[in-house]
Structure 1
Amino acid sequence: MSLFNELGLSQEIVNALTDLGYEKPTPIQKQSIPQIINSNSDLKAFAQTGTGKTAAFSLPILEKLDNENKTTQAIILSPTRELAIQIGKNIEDFSKYMKRVNVVTVYGGANIDEQIRGLKKGAQIVVGTPGRTVDLIKRKQLKLKDIKWVVLDEADEMLNMGFKDDLDQILEVTPKEKQTLLFSATFPKEVDAIARNYMHKPVEISAGKKNVGADKVSHEYYLVSEKNRYPTLKRLADVNPDIYGIVFCRTRREAKNVAANLIEDGYNADALHGDLSQAQRDIVMEKFRAKHLQILVATDVAARGLDVDDLTHVINYKLPDQAENYTHRSGRTGRAGKKGISIAIINNREKNALKPIENKIGKKFIHQQVPGGKEICEKQLFTLIEKIKDVEVNEEQISPYLDSIYDQLKDIEPNELIKRFVSIEFNQFLSYYEDAEDLNGDDSRERRRSSDENFTRFYINIGKMDGLNPAKLMGLINENLKKRDVEIGQIEILKSFSFFEIDKAYADKVIEAFEHSEFDGRSLIVEITKKPKGGGRRSGKKRSFGSDRRSNKSGYKGKSSTGGGYKSKRKGAFGGNKRSGKR
């Protein structure tokens, strides 16, 4: 007897699971399935991404579903279109041996009329994103008065994405007598608030500790200067030739720039962000799931709800604003008992952000050194050798050419032939990484930030009382300099004035850039100053600027660097003929 039979599932469902390769239930499935089948109590379930939550709630719903009744009996809400589509497809697969089960998936970015037609045919189970679900309710096309089950999947994600009002509207039109099933990877206070407001004495189960990282994921960080962030990303890709991962960025612009640079530099990459149409998103995700892409560059919002197996790496190009978001990012690797690596590329200013993340995931970050040229070349070379050893030879296709090939190569000794073959593939790579510089940052914050050798210190006449914070100051600097790759050193925000350090090569440009500048209507005074030795401020030449200024956009925008990369138009570790940029 199947282990799924023992949980109370019918043979039709078990047969479908067998066809899909399900051998035994995961911990969250073992707990959730019998609980939902045997009880009408509400349920709060914690389980990390990739632990089988979809089956945990959909299988018992299918088991208890009234097939003869065409009214909507279950509404399943998920944060993104991709996840909603995936859940709908999974339920169709689970129910393929059941009669008269109709599942309709509703989400924005698709034809609403087609979705309405599907609802009118009768849909016992509706899977939807909050926004489109509310729209259909307002149009009176989705009726939830006979709902028996409400599922909030990835509840924390939906709240992070700002769907609280939508969830409130949906839950308010559902009947009082129903079973509410809340599944979440983390349980911040907002999720507990939803549970308190809309659930009655819920049973709570957990397949692991709340708000911690996946057991099989190791966490590493690379400490570099801001200007070396992108070159470090390239080296991490080069030292992992078989990488299959997601690079997370904080903004759409950053994701676009990083992806464009990787593509230009010959890496097998593409971007996923909010500016893409649904059709464009589908194409990118189809390529990534089929492993035609090795690297997907994405924002948190764009990647929410993605369910991709076998990821080897998650790389945080920039750390997220909230520690909970790091948990979601890192949870996309290390699934199904496999190992995964979550990497953070940080500079000295960001080092303090690691501690709250460590507290959240219950693990320590390991400081790794950015790989050097010799290490990368060695890894690439032996990856090539392994591929040669494992390549399948199609005798039928190449046999017509073999006699001529043997004749042309007959005077070359086998060892010499191997050397020449490897050199053809590898010379460009060796040349690119010859004398590659050390990209590792200085682990001593004070030594790095305050070095008179590298930075010029400035005074600016705004501070905390003006609403200034480090992010706004960095945004102000970037906007006026019109450059995103200038390294900013130490920042001190005081009550009525502040100090900041800039790469000394841009000292004169800073003075020019802030001419005729203001901040929230206040004229700015900027001057070069020196680090005080015993207190007080010793200033240099002062410049006062007027008010003819463009509007200010606060926040650090990051850099849009354009480093090079090892060009490759073919799959695999090698190919092409170009290396450019920082090594």
Structure 2
Amino acid sequence: MSTFKELGLNKNIIKALTDLGYENPTEIQLKAIPQVLSSSEDLKAFAQTGTGKTAAFSLPILEQIDAESKDTQVVILSPTRELALQIANNIEEFSKYLDGVKTLAVYGGASIEDQIKKLKRGVQIVVGTPGRTVDLINRKQLKLNNIKWLVLDEADEMLNMGFKDELDKVLAVTPKEKQTLLFSATFPQEVERIAKNYMYKPVELSAGTKNKGSDQVSHQYYVVSERNRYAALKRIADVNPDIYSIIFCRTRRETQEIADKLIKDGYNADALHGDLSQAQRDSVMEKFRKKHLQLLVATDVAARGLDVNDLTHVINHKLPDQIESYTHRSGRTGRAGKEGISIAIVTGREKGKLHPIERIIGKKFVKTPVPTGKEICQNQLFKLIDKVHDIEINETEINDFLPSIYEKLEGLNREELIKRFVSLEFNTFLSYYENAPDLNDSEHMRGVDSRGKRRDDENMSRFFINIGRKDRLNPARLIGLINDQQIAKNIEIGQIEILDTFSFFELDKNYQDETISAFQQNDVEFEGRSVNVEKTEKKRSGRGGKSRNSNDSRSGGGRRRSKDRKANNEGNFSGFGRKKPSSNKSAFGGSKSSRRRKG
């Protein structure tokens, strides 16, 4: 296997890499470093998350940079401030034995005046988010005259986050005589467009197959009803006592709600999303890196650039809207040669979304049953016994107390002591999971009535729309029509019923008024017909299938509300991944107060 020295890097860079424990280059480093060192051609490189992309583009640049000049020679764009800071920190570590090389991270949420002062003092490498970089260019504070390298890291994610205009701006105003290095984990059409418009005959490198998931990650899915989604999440956490995971949600609100529930239920958890201040984000990430938190609930955007290598699991509380985002999510685990598990919690009607993801990652999802109470108790109990077996005994401190302890326990044999000890630690846990319900959505029929009609989803509102099959309406076109109204970003669409001359659809009940307003204000037309949308009551089950609304009576059927509340509210007692009511210590040794958000 090649070494970094054999790739052509100087002794000062090699020394820094040795200090950091870098021994052999990864596949993308092995391919990219010689290419950038030996050629000024543009480079389009595919590399999965966690494969060492930062070193792949920064090491050959550091080898060639002019340390005697204070001019900015490198601009590196990244989608988030966390990733920008991580890249800048990595480059500072790589260049610590290179005299005169200075790196600056520029991003929103920090003082632009401070960043301008540092730019004026001279920095060769600027790592920035697209918005702040454009701001500094417009203020004529970021000088581009001597730019030799422009790096687009995580280009696909920058486009997903809506930075197309900013990328176009930077690419358009940087000098033509430069080397553009584009690194991306996936290559959707928009990334290919950038490569076509702003790169000249780029060399293409690939570490692995484009858009394919990491070989170190296995993929599982659990099928549950919507009302059991959170309960299933808790069981997944409980059955894995050593879990260290990011839980991905689609919206900031959902992220905070799930984190708040987990904290209330005693888990070592917290939220990471765009509504937090920089100080709050830094505090949460510091706790997570130190493993004072086991579960980090995050949005896709907030989780970009997290420098965490030991995650055991990535859990998709809900699948992302963009298929490519799943690759980014799952790439958070299975890093640095370690194995990881990516889990998707889906309802029966969401299962079809797994197939296109499987085609992209080149792997199959394995259907896995939601753990039973017995399985959870067994795993947690054996974990407890292992901890007892492996604990170090402080002979000096405990010896003075032993005579009194032996006296109090006199008369109890070995078997009785073990039983009492286990019962003391475990009775509450066993009681909590006693007669725990089955949460698996067997053949997607949990949550349906005896006639096969699906019961109410209490989070959805039902709407009537005056177009149907005769207007050439189908579910896909109806979804497109709804999305065109821009009611809310990533709004959840529920059941759809297409009839001959009218139809019904369900949307997130939190956007009920916005839905009606959007269709009224936009004067929507479909196939030449004026579209009318009205709120309608959900169908109710009962004899004769009568409904409360005449529109609904035309579609027949009925629904009933499930009376089984236990699975939806699995109580507040927690296992060893959570604090027990009698304990103030976390599974990682943190105090009770350390689990609460300070911000």
Give the TM-score, by structure 2 length: 0.83
Q: Provide the secondary structure at the position in 2 that maps to 1:363.
A: coil
- Whether the 8 Å contact between 1:219 and 1:341 is mirrored in structure 2 is yes
In the alignment, what sits opposite 1:520?
519
CA contact (8 A) 1:150 1:180 kept: yes
What is the Cα deviation at residue 210 of structure 1?
A: 0.1
For residues 167-206 of structure 1, the aligned pairs below 5 Å read: 167-206=167-206
Deviates more, 1:388-397 or 1:156-165: 388-397
Deviation by residue 1:142-181 (Cα, 9 ceiling, x = unmatched): 1011001111111111111111111111122211111111
1:404 Cα deviation after fit: 2.2
Q: CA deviation at 1:501?
A: 9.0
Determine the structure 2 residue equivalent to 1:558. none
- Give the corresponding residue for 1:421: 421
What is the CA deviation profile of residues 407-456 of structure 1, one whole-angstrom value per residue up to 9, with x for unaligned ones? 22233212211111111110000000001110000315699478367637
Residue 568 (structure 2) pairs with residue 564 (structure 1): no
Report the secondary structure of 2:296's partner residue: strand
Q: How does 1:397-416 map to 2 (within 5 A)?
A: 397-416=397-416
Equivalent-residue separation in structure 1 for 2:535 and 2:333 (angstroms): 49
Structure 1 distance, partners of 2:277, 2:134, is 21
Residue aligned with 1:233, SS: helix
CA RMSD of the aligned region, Å?
Answer: 3.4
**Cα drift, residue 542 of structure 1:** 3.9
What CA distance in whole angstroms lies between the structure 1 residues aligned with 2:493 and 2:201?
52
Q: CA deviation at 1:362?
A: 1.0
State the AA in 2 paired with 1:25. Answer: P
Q: Pick closer, same or farther for the CA change 1:496–1:392 going to 2, 3 Å.
A: farther
One-letter amino acid of the structure 1 residue matched with residue 464 of structure 2: I
Q: Secondary structure at the match of 1:260?
A: helix
Superposition pairs for residues 401-480 of structure 1, below 5 Å?
401-444=401-444, 448=448, 451=451, 455=455, 460-463=464-467, 469=478
Judge which range, 391-400 or 173-182, deviates more: 391-400
Q: Is the 8 A contact 1:274 1:302 kept in 2?
A: yes
Question: How many angstroms does 1:519 deviate by?
Answer: 7.5
Which residue of 2 is the match for residue 101 of structure 1? 101
Q: Give the secondary structure class of the aligned counterpart of 2:443.
A: coil
What amino acid maps onto 2:587 in structure 1? G
Q: Secondary structure at the match of 2:585?
A: coil
* Distance change >3 Å, CA 444–CA 563, structure 1 → 2: closer
1:493-512 equivalence runs, <5 A: 493-494=498-499, 496-499=501-504
Report the equivalent of 1:243: 243
Q: Is the counterpart of residue 375 in structure 1 residue 375 in structure 2?
A: yes
2: CA distance, partners of 1:187 / 1:523: 38
Separation (CA, whole Å) in 1 of partners of 2:494 and 2:87: 47
Letter in 1 for 2:573: Y
2:349 corresponds to which residue?
A: 349
C-alpha displacement at 1:490, in angstroms? Answer: 4.7
Structure 1 window deviating more from structure 2 (225-234 vs 437-446): it is 437-446
Q: Which residue number corresponds to residue 162 of structure 2?
A: 162
CA distance in 2, matches of 1:47, 1:449: 48
TM-score, with length taken from structure 1: 0.85
Q: Distance in 2 between matches of 1:472 and 1:261?
A: 34
List alignment gaps of at least 5 residues for structure 2: 521-531, 553-567, 592-599
- Cα distance change of structure 1 residues 544 and 523 upon mapping to structure 2, 3 Å threshold: farther
Q: 1:136 offset after TM fit, Å?
A: 0.8
- What does 1:112-261 correspond to in 2, within 5 Å? 112-261=112-261
C-alpha contact (below 8 Å) 1:108/1:132 kept by paired residues: yes
Give ranges in structure 1 of 5+ residues lacking alignment. Answer: 503-509, 532-536, 546-560, 577-583
State whether residues 291 and 588 of structure 2, in contact with CA within 8 Å, keep that contact through their aligned partners in structure 1.
no
The residue type equivalent to 2:585 in the other structure is: R
Deviation at 1:462, TM superposition (A): 3.7
CA distance in structure 1 between the partners assigned to 2:110 and 2:5 by the alignment: 38
Q: 2:463 touches 2:534 (CA, 8 Å); kept in 1?
A: no
How many angstroms apart in 1 are the aligned matches of 2:5 and 2:332? 30
Corresponding residue SS for 1:443: helix
C-alpha distance in 2, partners of 1:449/1:393?
57
Asked if 2 retains the 8 angstrom alpha-carbon contact of 1:459 and 1:497, the reply is: no
- Residues 523/251 of structure 1: CA separation in 2 closer, same or farther (3 Å cut): closer
